[in-house]
A = this chain, B = another copy of it.
Amino acid sequence: MTELTLHPDRLFPADPVVRDIARRLYQQIAHLPIVSPHGHTDPRWFAKDESFENATRLLLLPDHYVFRMLYSQGISLESLGIRRKDGVAVESDYRKIFHIFANHYHLFRGTPSRIWLDSVFHDVFGLRQTLTAASADFYYDEINRQLNTDAFRPRALLDKFNIEFIATTEGALNDLKYHAALKGSGYEKRVVTTFRPDDVVDADRADFADNIAKLAEITGEDTTNYQGYLQALRIRRQVFREHGATATDHGHPTAKTADLSATEAAALYQKCLAGNANSQETELFRAQMLTEMAGMSLVDGMTMQIHPGAHRNHNSQIFQKFGPDKGADIPSPTEFVSNLKPLLEKYGNEAALTIILFTLDETTYARELAPLAGHYPALKLGPAWWFHDSPEGMLRFRHQVTETAGFYNTVGFNDDTRAFLSIPARHDVARRIDCRFLAGLVAEHRLGEAEAAELAYELTYGLVKKAYQLERL
Contacts and interface: CB of A to CB of B under 8 A. Distances in A.
Given A111-B403, A115-B446, A406-B110, A331 B367 contact: yes
A450 B74 CA distance: 25
B330 A375 contact: yes
Contact of A10 (B371, B372, B376, B446): B446
Interface string A3-38: 000110111111101100000000000000000000
Interface string A434-459: 00000011011111101100110000
B330 A372 contact: yes
Contact of A11 (B388, B404, B444): B444
Interface stretch (A200-208, A265-273, A340-348): A340-348
A461 interface: no
A337 B314 contact: yes
Contacts of A455: 109-110
Nearest to A388: B366
B366 A445 contact: no
Given A106-B451, A316-B345, A331-B337, A446 B374 contact: no
Contact of A393 (B108, B318, B366, B375): B366
A245 B406 CA distance: 37
Contact of A315 (B15, B344, B363): B344
A118 to B, nearest CB: 10
A10 B441 CA distance: 9
Interface stretch (A64-72, A87-95, A174-182, A212-220): A64-72
Contacts of A68: 374-375
Given A345-B316, A345-B317, A375-B68, A11 B445 contact: yes
B375 A315 contact: yes
B72 A407 contact: no
Interface in A302-340: 311, 314-318, 327-333, 335, 337-338
A112 interface: yes
B12 A444 contact: yes
Given A368-B331, A455-B109, A400 B392 contact: yes
Nearest to A329: B371
A254 to B, nearest CB: 13
B399 A392 contact: yes
Given A18-B14, A387-B404, A445-B10, A361 B351 contact: no
Given A311-B337, A333-B367, A391-B403, A377 B72 contact: yes
A327 B375 contact: yes
28 contacts: A2-B448, A6-B445, A11-B444, A12-B444, A68-B374, A72-B373, A72-B377, A73-B377, A106-B454, A107-B406, A107-B408, A109-B451, A110-B407, A110-B446, A311-B338, A327-B375, A328-B375, A330-B371, A331-B371, A333-B363, A361-B367, A366-B387, A370-B387, A387-B403, A387-B404, A391-B444, A391-B446, A392-B399
Given A109-B447, A111-B404, A111-B406, 13 more contacts: A10-B444, A12-B444, A14-B443, A14-B444, A69-B406, A72-B405, A73-B409, A109-B451, A110-B441, A314-B375, A363-B367, A390-B404, A393-B403
Which 3 residue pairs are nearest across A and B when measured between Cβ atoms?
Answer: A74-B351, A7-B445, A10-B445
